[in-house]
Chains A and B, each alone.
Chain A
Amino acid sequence: MTQWIIAIIMAWGAVALGDVAQAETRELPVEEIASGVFVHIGQTALMTAENEGAIANVGFVIGSDAVAVIDTGGSVREGRALLAAIRARSSKPIRYVINTHAHPDHIFGNAAFQVDDARFVGAKNLSRAIAVRGPHYIEAFRRLMGAELIDEVRLVSPSLVVEDHLSLDLGGRTLTLKAWSTAHSDCDLTVTDDQSGTLFAGDLVFLRHIPVMDGSLRGWIADIAALATITAARVVPGHGPVSPWPLALTDERRYLDTLAHDVRGLIKAGKPIAEAAGAAGSERGKWELFDDYNARNATAAFSEMEWE
């Protein structure tokens, strides 16, 4: 009898502790930008311990049967907060976890979704990018954000790979996924919710936050022309506010064109790559984090365009 009571008390205690742990996982603030479409707008900043890596836009779409998550954030802690925000709004199963590319601010929350039967979805080169860059990212961000946030990060390869196009049925609404040739990165993927006319562009689209080029400048400029033909009412960029589509491309197109023009000029004049950092100087003041990324974009662009 005593044993029974102890067992009951222990079981009750475990449940109570579980509740406390649940309650302590805060919800990531999200906004419903269209019916069933939720977005958290990331801080325009570099990933730090203080912001828990929550610098990219992440979101989810709720269908009548299932939920799809689009990017998971810059730490498992952010991923858990996103999961809590989903669970506060829907008890439907999370069927798909879509990564728009391999950068840490978009995939470091993946481990929070390695539950149930969620399938991880990415463009055809995502696995390779995660394999090649993932260990470096974990090492570098452990240094920048601390072991507590980073040690629980898991590199999760997609089990569902988008070669070109793929449709995902959430029940009553369909997501259309498209894999792009190398542009912002070598594994960019966009997601369109056809019902609401919402385009999740990942880092193919930046607003306010200076575009970051980690793929091919020429490829990106070419892809923008194709991106602009996507039918949508609004875009959720990888960074920056939700904006009307395709008007949202204006600033990014101007920046990338300016960068390409200036870098080509430097190469033609025989300047060394060390001077590339001065390219696109006319764009300073038009973007946040300009000094954090412009020199890098220009250096990468220089080494690409030298082969033209």
Chain B
Amino acid sequence: MIGLRLPSLSFLSAGLLGASLAFCFAPAKAAEGYDPWPGLVQDVFNNKPMQDGANVLSIEMPARAEDASVVPVTLRSKLSPADERRIKTITLVIDQNPAPMAAKFTLGADANVTAISTRVRVNNYTDVHAVAELTDGQLYVIKTFVKASGGCSAPAAKNPDEAKARIGQMRYRQFTQAGDGATSGIREAQVMVGHPNNSGLQMDQLTQLYIPAFFVDQLTLSQDGSLVLSVEGGISISEDPNIRFTYVSNGAKHFRAEARDTQGHVFEHEWPAEGSGT
């Protein structure tokens, strides 16, 4: 288990630390049309060539980040069922954020996840890239553009005390599927994890030191032990990480979520697969 996770951790660290060091202290550059993407391709993807992903996946975000701290994003597979290739991972990058590497989703080999929705923080006018790695070993990229929110909206907690009080709470919800969901085994579900997901970019006024980042860095969802979806998250994921996704049931009786944060807390919960609960 630990061995499996180590490579992903180092990937995340490289993305988070490298990217945040490079970009979080250069906001003026960001405002002047500086394009961080070539640097991110190097830091996050080792300069691996990328194909146009327009026929592989889509990304849906509002044109403007209404609330800077909660911007909905949906990723959908566009591969036809007949396609022999499968999406292994999707990496979501918010180019102009202090920590651009928002999340890396790993899709279970047998779960047929075709849509993933979550919420992110958006600090600035920014390109948002989604990079899919397929079973053919190639990377496919798509992007969209999001305008920063206006007014007093900030990518920060609205109610920090409540967020702290909610830490570790988990919710699971199974949505009613229209059409042939019941017979095809296609499900749509949502997992919520209560966590402040602090950015760590604010300074402690007394000590003048940066408050350490504190966020959920790993969330693993499975049905009777078989991986559905795992998420390596960074500080660009909104407070109370929330993942909504479609998958195909393998007939499992139980759905399980396990989350871990940067202070090593582990939160886990199991629910009857067909129900909803806390």
Q: Which residues of B contact A219 (CB under 8 A)?
A: 159
Flag if A136 contacts B74 (CB, 8 Å): no
Flag if A143 contacts B31 (CB, 8 Å): yes
Q: Does B158 contact A (CB under 8 A)?
A: yes
Flag if B152 contacts A105 (CB, 8 Å): yes
Measured in the bound complex, the distance between the Cα atoms of B18 and A205 in whole Å is 44
Q: How many residues of A contact B (CB 8 A)?
A: 43
Flag if A135 contacts B159 (CB, 8 Å): no
Q: Does B67 contact A (CB under 8 A)?
A: yes
Q: Does B269 contact A (CB under 8 A)?
A: no
Q: Does B268 contact A (CB under 8 A)?
A: no
**A residues 214-240 in Cβ contact with B at 8 Å:** 214-216, 219
Classify chain B's interface size.
Answer: 35 or more
- Chain B proximity mask over A289-302: 1 for CB below 8 Å, otherwise 0: 00011011001100
Measured in the bound complex, the distance between the Cα atoms of B176 and A47 in whole Å is 44
Flag if B160 contacts A303 (CB, 8 Å): no
Flag if A300 contacts B152 (CB, 8 Å): no
Q: Which residues of A contact B171 (CB under 8 A)?
A: 306-307
Flag if B158 contacts A293 (CB, 8 Å): no
Measured in the bound complex, the distance between the Cα atoms of B154 and A90 in whole Å is 37
Measured in the bound complex, the distance between the Cα atoms of B152 and A46 in whole Å is 10
Among B50-58, B237-245, B250-258, the stretch in contact with A? B237-245
Measured in the bound complex, the distance between the Cα atoms of B176 and A142 in whole Å is 46
Flag if A212 contacts B152 (CB, 8 Å): yes
Flag if A272 contacts B72 (CB, 8 Å): yes
**A residues 23-57 in Cβ contact with B at 8 Å:** 46-47
Cβ distance A78 to chain B, nearest Cβ, rounded Å: 16
Q: Does A277 contact B (CB under 8 A)?
A: yes
Q: Which residues of B contact A46 (CB under 8 A)?
A: 150-151
Flag if A132 contacts B148 (CB, 8 Å): no
**A residues 268-295 in Cβ contact with B at 8 Å:** 270, 272-274, 277, 292-293, 295
Flag if B158 contacts A132 (CB, 8 Å): no
Q: Does B259 contact A (CB under 8 A)?
A: no
Cβ distance A215 to chain B, nearest Cβ, rounded Å: 5
Flag if B158 contacts A216 (CB, 8 Å): yes
Q: Does A186 contact B (CB under 8 A)?
A: yes
Closest-by-CB residue of A relative to B194 is A307
Measured in the bound complex, the distance between the Cα atoms of B176 and A172 in whole Å is 65
Q: Which residues of A contact B204 (CB under 8 A)?
A: 131
Cβ distance A301 to chain B, nearest Cβ, rounded Å: 10
Measured in the bound complex, the distance between the Cα atoms of B68 and A296 in whole Å is 9
Closest-by-CB residue of B relative to A203 is B152
Closest-by-CB residue of A relative to B151 is A46
Q: A103-B152, A132-B202 are in contact. Are A299 and B67 (CB under 8 A)?
A: yes
Q: Does A254 contact B (CB under 8 A)?
A: no
Flag if B152 contacts A214 (CB, 8 Å): yes
Flag if B159 contacts A186 (CB, 8 Å): yes
Q: Does A139 contact B (CB under 8 A)?
A: yes
Q: Does B192 contact A (CB under 8 A)?
A: yes
Cβ distance A92 to chain B, nearest Cβ, rounded Å: 31
Closest-by-CB residue of A relative to B173 is A270
Q: Which residues of B contact A143 (CB under 8 A)?
A: 31, 148
Q: Does B21 contact A (CB under 8 A)?
A: no
Q: A274-B62, A306-B242 are in contact. Are A300 and B158 (CB under 8 A)?
A: yes
Flag if A182 contacts B162 (CB, 8 Å): yes
Measured in the bound complex, the distance between the Cα atoms of B207 and A206 in whole Å is 37
Q: Does A75 contact B (CB under 8 A)?
A: no
Flag if B119 contacts A303 (CB, 8 Å): yes
Closest-by-CB residue of A relative to B148 is A140
Flag if B123 contacts A303 (CB, 8 Å): no
- Chain B proximity mask over A102-115: 1 for CB below 8 Å, otherwise 0: 01110000000000
Q: Does B205 contact A (CB under 8 A)?
A: yes
Measured in the bound complex, the distance between the Cα atoms of B67 and A295 in whole Å is 8
Q: Which residues of B contact A185 (CB under 8 A)?
A: 158
Q: Does B149 contact A (CB under 8 A)?
A: yes
Closest-by-CB residue of A relative to B66 is A296
Flag if A273 contacts B72 (CB, 8 Å): yes
Q: Does A17 contact B (CB under 8 A)?
A: no
Measured in the bound complex, the distance between the Cα atoms of B162 and A304 in whole Å is 10
Q: Does A261 contact B (CB under 8 A)?
A: no
**A residues 241-275 in Cβ contact with B at 8 Å:** 270, 272-274
Flag if B31 contacts A182 (CB, 8 Å): no
Flag if B152 contacts A144 (CB, 8 Å): no
Cβ distance A294 to chain B, nearest Cβ, rounded Å: 9
Q: Give residues in B with beta carbon < 8 Å to A.
A: 27, 31, 60, 62, 66-67, 69-70, 72, 74, 117, 119, 123-124, 148-162, 166, 169, 171, 173, 175-176, 192, 194, 202-205, 238-240, 242, 244
Q: List 22 A-B contacts (CB under 8 A).
A: A103-B152, A105-B152, A127-B205, A133-B154, A136-B154, A136-B156, A142-B31, A143-B31, A182-B159, A215-B158, A219-B159, A272-B72, A272-B117, A274-B72, A274-B74, A296-B66, A296-B153, A299-B72, A300-B70, A303-B119, A307-B166, A307-B240
The 3 A-B pairs of least Cβ separation, nearest first, read A296-B66, A103-B152, A133-B154
New A-B pairs, 15, CB < 8 Å, besides A140-B124, A306-B192, A306-B242: A47-B151, A132-B157, A136-B155, A140-B154, A212-B152, A216-B158, A216-B159, A270-B173, A274-B117, A295-B66, A300-B69, A303-B119, A303-B240, A307-B194, A307-B240
